[in-house]
Amino acid sequence: MAVEFNKRIALTGFMGVGKSSVARHLAHSLRCERTDLDNVIEEAENRSIADIINTDGEARYREIETSNLESVIADKTVRILSLGGGTWTVEENREMLKKSGFISVWLESSFEHCWMNIKFSHKVRPLAKNKRNARKLFEERQKIYCLADWHFIVKPEFTSFDVASRILEELIS
């Protein structure tokens, strides 16, 4: 079912929470394109994110991420945007998103749920190489993710379609 809603939505949350899949369902319901920041970066750089982080380091990766975010949000046709798990942790990125009229939605889930998805995914995530480091990052980031405009709890039994439908119900009501 197509839904009338013309605001811009940016999805944030930890790796493995399902930002990209939820964005796909949101875009489908809203009959618009979705943009995945990680994909944009990989296309612009012509190499994988793992390659960028492993070769140039995380600090350089964050610069590349911010510059790609800036180009993406300058394109007013971009309405549904899934961020990388660390994008929202950079203040400059949060400010840019806010100024450009994005509603930020934090997809929150338990660490164990995210970790299961990270473990069984084909996506290479250099910042979640082992469970201990990933948990530390997860814990450090909670207080930053909660700065998002909206907060949605993703239970393990929810499909990404369920999550997208519930987000739309809440945002539209």
Binding residues for ligand S3P, per CB under 6 A? 15, 19, 38, 49, 84-86, 123, 125, 127
Query: What span, in angstroms and rounded, lies between the C-alpha atoms of 162 and 138?
Result: 24
Shortest distance in whole angstroms from residue 155 CB to ligand S3P: 19
Q: Which amino acid is at 13?
A: G
- Which C-beta is closer to ligand S3P: that of 57 or that of 172? 57
Q: Residue 12: is it exposed, middle or buried by C-beta count within 10 angstroms (0-12/13-18/19+)?
A: buried
- Which C-beta is closer to ligand S3P: that of 91 or that of 169? 91
- Which C-beta is closer to ligand S3P: that of 23 or that of 168? 23
- Which C-beta is closer to ligand S3P: that of 38 or that of 108? 38
Shortest distance in whole angstroms from residue 49 CB to ligand S3P: 5
Rounded to 10 degrees, what is the CA torsion of 124, 129, 130, 136? Answer: -110
- Which C-beta is closer to ligand S3P: that of 58 or that of 95? 58
Q: Among candidates 31, 150, 2, which has minimal Cα distance to 88? A: 150
Shortest distance in whole angstroms from residue 139 CB to ligand S3P: 13
- The residue number whose beta carbon is nearest to ligand S3P equals 84
Shortest distance in whole angstroms from residue 1 CB to ligand S3P: 27
In order, the DSSP letters of 20-75 are HHHHHHHHHHHTS-EEEHHHHHHHHHTS-HHHHHHHH-HHHHHHHHHHHHHHHHHS
Shortest distance in whole angstroms from residue 130 CB to ligand S3P: 14
Asked if 80 and 9 count as a contact pair (C-beta separation under 8 A), the reply is: yes
